[in-house]
Amino acid sequence: MTQAAFLIIEDQASIAGLLKSELARLTDAPIEVCHDMAEARTLIDSGRSIAVCLTGLQLPDSHENEIIHLLKAHHIPTVVLTGTYKEATRQEMFELKVADYVIKESIASIRYAVQMTHRLYHNAHRHVWLLGHGHRSSARLLGMLRTHRYQVRAYDCTRTLLADLKKDRPNLLVLDGTQTEPGNHTFDLINALREHYVPSQLPIIACESSETISNAIKLMKYGVNDFYNTSFTPEEFYVRVNQNIEQAEVYHKIERLSQRDSLTGLYNRRTFFARAEALLAEIRTKGGYFFALMADIDHFKQVNDNYGHQKGDDAIVFMAQCLTEVFSDALVGRFGGEEFCVIGKIHDTREAEQSAETLRARIEADSKAETGVAFTLSQGMTFSAQSVDEAVQKADDALYRSKENGRNQVNAVF
């Protein structure tokens, strides 16, 4: 299937080139450029899939708003870039369901328009849930969210929403009204949600009137990320929605950087130990068995010295990929260099021993084809320990035995 494209419609070649270059800095998706309405119509009629359009308002071959009506007829979300501002035009743009309306007055405004266009493209993968319970503004909110390409799910029942949260989680929850349904106030719902999700995991914005600002303050204290006024404008609502989603996304990126190894995406040593301690505590409480495995690429220094550090990185990435596939239900971490650790639940020791042998055989058989360098790995395992530190130490002792005995093998200590 052909990837949906961005569409830029701008009659000034210099501005069109600037818009395309600014957008190309943000995306690898295809970008189509048309210089008038006739070109745009021909492109659209050709069947080219257009995800989002950034267009000038006044084109040489179209009369007032004609380009907007063309794009709307083909359900193409649109950002308008124009050289003049009139309040009446602004109101008309939002009545026509334009996603945004930007004045072409500086490089900053042009970049804003491009960033908004880029955001709209990716909003198709962002999910917003709306709890409204029949409020008159809910239909308006639904329409506005869909104009910005969000995947929207509407609720009028708190119980259903809470049940769905056990299976899925949106990028943002919007509450339309302080009382979500008869006998159930927002404060009760926020308490229930924040028992399970911190604000960065589930951003929430709520609607509140200016006359009851104390309620809004109370909501913020209870755990709502933000609120919007009952007399909100489209710009205000969109800014609050965008900011809260993007703040959560930035937090998740920072969290991932702090918890994951940058090369392989595996847990780093610190995060691995924290999660492994929690896993062992759960096993002690509920009963069961676990294994710990240490794995090390054999003669890794020779890989780097003979083939270069890029090939060394390729070997580490391949190793990480194999570990996560073979031990898909376990915790997998990179301890640095060519050293990896795995801890997971098991029903019996043979299960883990067989997985370790599968890993060893796969690395030996496939490493040359996958990385251009043939290499093997040694592994050590244990099935008993009182702590993660002890488990890792015992597995490391078994790994040392594998190396002493000739490498490319698995040994276990109990």
CATH number of the domain encompassing residue 281: 3.30.70.270
Whether residue 286 is found in the same domain as residue 399: yes
Question: The whole model's pTM is what?
Answer: 0.76
Quick one: angle between helices 158-165 and 186-194, nearest 10?
10
pLDDT for position 135: 61
Closest CA to 357 of 336, 331, 327, 332: 327
Whether residue 131 is found in the same domain as residue 108: no
Whether residue 239 is found in the same domain as residue 186: yes
The two structure tokens encoding residue 148: 């910005």
| Secondary element (H or E) of residue 54 | strand 50-56
Question: pLDDT for 180-228, tens place per residue?
Answer: 445 556 788 899 899 999 999 999 998 877 666 777 788 888 899 998 8
Domain with 363 in it = 269-413
Give the mean pLDDT of 14-36: 96
pLDDT for position 6: 97
pLDDT for position 315: 96
Residue 282 CA to residue 77 CA, distance in Å, equals 49
Residue 95 pLDDT class (50, 70, 90 cuts): confident
Least confident window among 20-34, 84-98, 228-242: 84-98
What residues are paired with 260 via a beta bridge?
A: 267
Whether residue 202 is found in the same domain as residue 293: no
Examine residue 264 and state whether it is found in any structural domain, yes or no. no
Whether residue 236 is found in the same domain as residue 339: no
Question: pLDDT for 253-308, tens place per residue?
Answer: 998 889 999 999 999 999 999 999 999 999 988 888 999 999 999 999 999 999 99
Number of domains within the chain: 3
Chosen domain end from 240, 259, 278:
259
Examine residue 313 and state whether it is found in any structural domain, yes or no. yes
Q: What CATH number corresponds to the domain at position 206?
A: 3.40.50.2300
The two structure tokens encoding residue 151: 């995947």
397 contacts: CB under 8 Å, gap ≥ 6: 380, 413
Whether residue 113 is found in the same domain as residue 130: no
SS3 413: strand
Residue 120 pLDDT class (50, 70, 90 cuts): very high
pLDDT for position 390: 95
The two structure tokens encoding residue 350: 């043979």
Whether residue 403 is found in the same domain as residue 276: yes
Q: Is the pLDDT of residue 393 over 80?
A: yes
Residue 91 CA to residue 401 CA, distance in Å, equals 75
Whether residue 30 is found in the same domain as residue 132: no
Whether residue 21 is found in the same domain as residue 60: yes
